[in-house]
Amino acid sequence: MPSIVKPVVTHPGLDRNALGLTIRDYEGGMSTLCAGCGHDSVTAAITHALWESDTPPHMIAKLSGIGCSAKTAAYFARGAHGFNGCHGRMPPIATGASAANRDLLCIGISGDGDSLSIGLGHLAHLVRRNVRMVYVIENNGVYGLTKGQFSASADVGSTTKRGEANHLQPIDPIFLGLSVGATFLARGFSGDKRQLVPIFRAAMAHRGLSVIDVISPCVTFNDHEGSTKSYLFTRQHDVQMTVTDFVPPAEEISATIPTEGVVSIPMHDGATLRFRSVPDGYDPTDRLAVMEHLMSARGRGEIVTGLLYIDEQSSDLHELGNTTEAPLTQVPYEKLCPGSAALAGVGFR
């Protein structure tokens, strides 16, 4: 069988979350990605964040498109339903799933080909609708499964293994998101799990769509000299614009923690985002200021990471639709069917 079942090994000493589950309970199938693939580190960070968040695995819905990134949805939360859709079409499928059952924690795993080429339109509209879900872009600048063509996130001047340079302007999902009304934008690096985990936790608590662009190097096709999405290049150019802590609702922020220079953003469910370190004048809730900072960082050749923009005020898909509080899948049929008597007024008589 070409798929590999991962053996479940649980050590008795593993920590348990509020549901009594260990991190093993949030793992999935065995990865069939290349050894050293950045995506596997992203999987590890998501797994960790899910475990920390005490989410019951069956309430998670994992959705993906096509490509190496799409496979990773199978590598975490084996107790969750997964939907490996068509290339670029995950956003509408996730929108439908979220529309039907608003209680699901939808996690979309996508790549730069999936999100920025074939599915770019869908991503933009997912952002506009503010569908409540976590949307991860595992961004490596190349098409891996078809052996190394440039994707739409490849930087100008970045080269293939054979030395051909890319001449087309890249599409940056963070700028795209800022321009079409995103309410949560972050960029991470697969090599920095410490930064990724609190970002994922905040994303899971966010009311609306959170887009997390993760630079996730492709060890086989885009990790050479001349690539701007390699481990080395990313490490050398990574500038953490913000450092954020996610403080869950239960943990009151202690007054003894020094608060000087800290921007705290309350989230709608009672959690708090603490921006421990931000540049002077950086307000993660000010779309225009964020855009200016990112623009100038781009001019300096920096790969800016961190939780970059947050808007907890905007309405999500269900608020905009004034949908009932219970998931639509749980509304009993008796409430949905108007019954024969209501037909009396139908049609012209």
Bridge partners (DSSP) of residue 263 are 275
Task: State the number of CA atoms in the 13 A half-sphere of 328 facing the CB.
Answer: 12
CB of 127 to other proteins, least distance (A): 11
Using CB under 8 A as the criterion, what x/- string covers residues 107-146 for binding other proteins? --------------xx-xx---x-----------------
Nearer to other proteins, 9 or 343 (CB): 343
Examine residue 329 and tell whether it contacts other proteins (CB under 8 A): yes
Site residues for other proteins, 60-89, by CB under 8 A, read: 60-61, 63, 73-74, 78-86, 89
Kindly state the smallest distance separating residue 78's Cβ from other proteins, in Å. Answer: 6
Q: Is 171 in the site for other proteins (CB under 8 A)?
A: no
Total chain residues near other proteins (CB under 8 A): 64
DSSP letters along 211-252, please? EEEEE---TTTS-STT-SSSHHHHHHHEEES-EEEEE-TTSP
Considering only the C-alpha atoms of the chain, give the largest distance between any 2 of them, rounded to a whole number of Å: 77
- Nearer Cβ to other proteins (300/335): 335
**Nearest distance from residue 43's CB to other proteins, in Å?**
14
- The reply on whether position 256 binds other proteins by CB under 8 A is no
Tell me how far apart the alpha carbons of residues 128 and 313 are, in angstroms, rounded to a whole number: 14
Which SS3 state, helix, strand or coil, does residue 63 take?
A: strand
Q: How far is the CB of 180 from other proteins (least distance, A)?
A: 11
Instruction: Note whether 152 binds other proteins by CB under 8 A.
Output: no
Out of 6, 17, 34, 101, the residue judged to bind other proteins by CB under 8 A: 101
- Inter-residue contact 136 to 91 (CB < 8 Å): no
Q: Tell me the C-alpha distance between 27 and 240, whole Å.
A: 28
The dihedral through the CA atoms of 184, 217, 48, 240 has a sign that is negative
Judging by DSSP bridges, how do beta strands 133-139 and 209-215 pair with one another?
Answer: parallel
Per CB under 8 A, residues contacting other proteins are: 1-3, 56-61, 63, 73-74, 78-86, 89, 91-101, 103-104, 121-122, 124-125, 129, 317-318, 321-325, 327-329, 331, 333, 335-340, 342-343, 346-349
